[in-house]
Chains A and B, each alone.
Chain A
Amino acid sequence: MADFQNIVGKALSDEAFCKELTSNPTKALKDNGVTPTPEMIDALKGLDTKAIQKLAQAFGKGPAGA
C-alpha cells in the first residue's frame, strides 16, 4: 500500500504521469510496478487533473519545485 501512495504522489511532480494516472489508472499503476486492486482504482476515481496541476503550480514550478 505504501508503494501505491508513493506512486500516486508522483502525480504532483510529473505532469505526464498525472495525466496518465487520471485517464488510465490501471496502466499507470502497472507501468510503475503496482498491481492495481479495485480499491486502488476506486480511490483514484474523481481525481481532477486540472486541480492537481493547479496545486502543483502553487507549490512551485518544475518537477521538484526544489
Chain B
Amino acid sequence: MYMWNPPSYPNVREQSCLEVEKLLGTLPLELFMPSISVQIKAGAHSLPSSELKHLLQDVRDGSYPVLDFHLWLLEDLKVPDSRLRRDLEKNLLTYSILQVFIFFIHSIGFKFGRAYGKDFFLFSNLLMNHADGILAATEGVQPKIFEFSRKFWGEYSNEWLVSQSIQKWDLPLSDLRFLQIGHKWSPVKIAPLAAALAFEKHEALEDLLAVLDRLNSVIQIREEVIDLKKDGLKGILTYPIARALKAIGIAPSPQFEMDTVFGSLLLTKAIPDLLQECMSVAEDCELRLQALSLPSFASYARQLKGQLLSLADLYNVNASSKKDSEESAAPWEFIYDPQPKLDAAIAQAERFLLSDTSFRESWEVHRWGLFGCPELSSSIFHSALILDNLAASGTKRTDLIADTILRYQKNNHQYFDQPNPLPPDIDTLGILLRILRQASAPPELLQRFEQPLQWLERHALGDGTLPTHFCLDRPGYLTRLGVNRCAVVSANLLLGLIGLDTSRFRPLVLRSAAKLFRQVAESGMNCVKQYAHSFGIWILLELKQALWEKEWAEPIREAMFAAEKALLEQFELATAKADLKCLDAAFLILIQSQHQQKPYEARWLETILGKQYTDGSWDAEPFYVMPAMDHLQDWYRSRTMTTSFCHLALKTRAQFIAFAGSSPNII
C-alpha cells in the first residue's frame, strides 16, 4: 500500500493544545463532567498520557486527519513564514480541535443514542461559542468565513437530521446523495477555507471545496463500511447496509436482520462494488488535487485509495474474483469497539443480584416519620418480586422463596416490616402468591396465605372491585384508603390467584378481570395509577396471556381481546419514546417476546447493554409511586429492582434467540 507520512507540526500542536487545556481548565464546575467524557471519547485508544496532545494524536493519525487540513494548505500554497501564518496555524488548529470535540458530543447523542443531559448541550454551545470567537479574532478571514461556517454547519445539521429517513436510500447512488452523505464532515472545510481566505488564495477555493466534499463522502462511506456490523447490531441503517439489502432484492428499512445483511455480504459484491465507486472518486480527487498543485492533499487521496482497495479485498469473499496484488495484500486494521456480549451481561447481572440475597438495596425505607414511625422498611414485597423475576429467568432460589413467604406470614401479611397503622394490602399478597408457584413445596406454604385469602373474599365487592387494603377489622381506614384504583395492583393479585389454579377463586378472578379489562379498553393506561407506564403494559398483557390459556376464562375473552388491542396500541406508543430508559427497554423486550407480530428493535437491547455498570447492575429508575416527605408523592427507584427486570429481559431475549435457532447476531 502507498504510505505517506505527513509532517507532524509539533510546535503549533503544543500551542493549540495548551490553549484548549486552559479553556477546559476554567470551565464552570457543572461542565467538568461532559468535558471529561468528551476527552475520554477523544482518547478511546491506548495513549502515552492523558495530555490533550496525545488524546488528539489518534484524531490526526487515524480515520481522517481533519486537524491538519489548513496546515497542509498553507504548506502546499507555499505561504512564507510570518506572524500572520503562525497565528493562523495556531488559531485554526485550536478551532479544529474544538470542532472535533463538538463532533464527539454529537456522535455520542446522535449515533450511540446515549441520553445525555443539559450539561452536554451547554458544553457544546460553549465550545462552539469559543470556536467562533477564535475565527472572529483571526486576521484576514472575516466576514466571509462566517458565511461559509453557517453554510457548512447547516449542511452538517441537515444530514444528521435526515439520516434516518428512508428516502435517503434511493438507489443507485446519485451524485447529489453522494455529496449529502459527506455532509457529516462539512465543518472540516472551514479551517482550510479560512487559511485560503487569509492569504487571498481565492482562485484555489472553489476547486478545493468541491474536492473536499467528495473526499468527505468517501470517508463517511468508508467509516460506515468499517462499522457495518457495529451499526447493524444497533439497528442503525447506514448506506452500506442499505446497499447490501438492496443487492439481494430487499427494500432497505430500519427493521432489517443482521443475518440477512451478512447473507448479502457473502452472496453479492455489494460492498466491494460500493468501495470500487469510492476508489474511483478518490482517484479523481487525487488527479484534481495534483492539478491544483496541492501535493499534501493529493498524497492523502492516494493513501485513501489504497485503504479502500484493502477494505474491498477484505469484503471480497469469493475466491474466483479475488485478485492478488501488492496493495490488496497489505494489512489494514479495523478500528472496532467490541460491544458487551449478551451472555456476559446476563452473567454479570445475575452475580450482582445474588451478591446480597437480602436484596437490601431494593427495600423501600422511610426515616422521616411516615405514619409517625421513626423508621419503616419494606423488604418482603421487594425480595419476592426480585425472586419471582429470577425464577422466571431460570434461577430458582427455593430456599429464599420459602423464607420470604414465612417472613410474610410472621409479619402479619403487612407491607412494612415494623409495626405501623397500615393494614395488609393486596399488592403484597399478589406478589407473594406469584412466587408461591416457584416454591419447592407450594401446598405446604399455601396454608400461610389462608388468613389474607379469607380477608380478600370478605373485602372484594360483588362487581369484582378489589380493595387496596384489608380494613375489615378497622373500618375507619376503608373510607380513607378506599378501593383499589390501579389496574397493575389488581393484575398483580389476579396473576397470583390464577397461579393457585384452584376453583375457589375463579369467580372472583373472572369478575375482577372482566372489570379490569373493560377499564383498560375504555381508559387506556389512565387505569395505571401507581406503576411505571411500560411495566403496566407488560403486567396487564401478562394477565391477559395467563387467562387466555384457561378454558374457564372463556366468558371474558371478548373483554380480553379489547384490552389487548388497547395495550398493544400503548406498546406502539412506548416504542416511539425518544428517551428510552433501561426499564422501558426491558419491558419492551418482554412484551415483544410474547407478541412477536410487533417488530423487535435492536435499540432496546443496545440501551440495556450500553448502560450496565461494571458491577453488573443498572441505574435506579422510577418504578412505582410511594409516599414522600411532607406527604407528597415520589417515585421508588432501586438499582437492584432495575437490574432484576433488565436481567429478566436479557435472559428472555437470549432464550428467544436460542429457541429461534439463530445466531446471536439477531440481537
**Residue ranges of A at the interface with B (Cβ–Cβ < 8 Å):** 1-2, 4-14, 43-48, 51-52, 54-55, 58-66
Contact = CB atoms under 8 A, between A and B. Distances in A.
A58 B314 contact: yes
B262 A10 contact: yes
B293 interface: no
Contacts, number: 114
Interface in B221-269: 228-229, 233, 248-250, 257-267
Contacts of B342: 64, 66
A9 B665 contact: yes
Given A59-B336, A63-B664, A8 B267 contact: yes
Interface string B250-292: 1000000111111111110000000000000000000000000
Interface size class of B (residues with CB under 8 A): 35 or more
A60 B663 contact: no
Contacts of B576: none
A10 B661 CA distance: 11
B317 A52 contact: yes
A13 B226 CA distance: 17
B317 A6 contact: no
Given A7-B263, A13-B663, A66-B664, 5 more contacts: A5-B259, A7-B259, A9-B262, A64-B665, A65-B665
Q: Which 4 A-B pairs have the closest CB atoms?
A: A9-B262, A5-B263, A9-B263, A64-B664
A58 B228 CA distance: 11
A45 B267 CA distance: 10
Contacts of A9: 258-266, 665
Which DSSP category, helix, strand, loop or mixed, fits chain A's interface? helix
Interface of B: 228-229, 233, 248-250, 257-267, 314-322, 333-334, 336, 338-342, 609, 662-665, 667
Contacts of A61: 338
A66 B126 CA distance: 35
Given A55-B317, A66-B342, A60 B260 contact: no
A60 B334 CA distance: 9
B264 A60 contact: no
B527 to A, nearest CB: 38
B318 A47 contact: yes
Interface centre among B228, B338, B665 (most CB of A within 10 A): B665
Given A14-B663, A59-B229, A60-B338, A51 B263 contact: no
Contacts of B262: 8-13
B314 A55 contact: yes
A60 B319 contact: no
B539 to A, nearest CB: 29
Nearest to B665: A13
Given A8-B263, A9-B265, A66 B319 contact: no
6 contacts: A1-B249, A8-B267, A10-B663, A51-B316, A51-B318, A63-B663
